[in-house]
Amino acid sequence: MCAMGIIMTVASALILDRITKMLCVKYLAGEASIPIIKGVLQLTYVRNTGAAFSIFSGSTRALAFFTVAVCILLVVFMIFQKKKNPGKKLYIISLAMILGGALGNMFDRFAYGYVVDFVDFILINFAVFNVADIFITVGGTIFCCCLLFDKDIKL
């Protein structure tokens, strides 16, 4: 995995997150939820001042600075892991996905004082989330799978 691939993954996550959030603010803010699949999925504009599932609600600034620290640590970890695990592209991409998602939510926290969420999976009354959260979740899942199933990865 070359540095350009990592940068492209992080940039893709950040750009997709920013575009979807800008569209959300433009078309959903102040509007009723828009059903996508009736009873399953809808678009709902939410200002989240907390972290995942709105924990630490109202702690946006503290979460923003915590995210900066996590992002710095993630970059350092990714650099070392890239050197220790050459050829483990999926493993490194998973870290880049997590970083891109974290940067997307961090941008919101610093710029607005909250994170814009809009994907509302109502079938199971799940928390409203966004594209950055999807990148973090998918990246985290891939990362865990790599650690579980690829015994050649060195931490």
Q: Show the DSSP H helices in the chain as ranges.
A: 3-28, 60-84, 89-112, 131-149
Cα torsion 144, 145, 147, 153: sign: negative
Residue 43 three-state SS: strand
CB 101 within 8 A of CB 63: no
Task: Return d(Cα 1, Cα 48) in angstroms, integer.
Answer: 34
Distance CA 63, CA 50 (A): 8
CA distance 25 to 9: 24
Annotated catalytic residues are 117, 133
